[in-house]
Amino acid sequence: MSKKTQIVFLPNEEICPEGKVVEVEPGSTTILDAALEHGIDIEHACEKSCACTTCHVIVREGFDSLEPSDELEDDLLDKAWGLEHESRLSCQAIVQEEDLVVEIPRYTINQVSERH
């Protein structure tokens, strides 16, 4: 039996106030799909097609285990609210063997624009 990869989702006031720990098969799912499968409703306005930044997350631990982002993802991330070096679009980041700690930012571009 293969070892599952653990993803720790840090608490997010609106999406998962208590935080959550989930396990997934490495190499077969994205951070976004893992979240959605376990009831963490990360926004994904473009339906996972790498066309927006609403599923932006920050990978606090295990970032280097992910496949590098491509140019399209990098261009989109440049527009993400609260961009950090460990930022990824969760719809593009495929979970590998290394456990991850993921922070869901407090806001997305959509939420910021809706508040003004």
- Segment among 38-42, 71-75, 104-108 with least mean pLDDT: 104-108
Global pTM?
A: 0.91
Q: What is the pLDDT of residues 42-94, one digit of tens each?
A: 999 999 999 999 999 999 999 999 999 999 999 999 999 899 999 999 999 99
Q: Locate all alpha helices (DSSP H) within 42-96, ordered by sequence.
A: 71-77
Pick the CATH number of 5-115 from 3.40.190.80, 3.30.230.80, 3.40.630.10, 3.10.20.30: 3.10.20.30
Residue boundaries of the structural domains of the chain: 5-115
Whether the CA torsion 10, 15, 18, 23 is positive or negative: it is: negative
Q: What is the pLDDT of residues 59-68, one digit of tens each?
A: 999 999 999 9
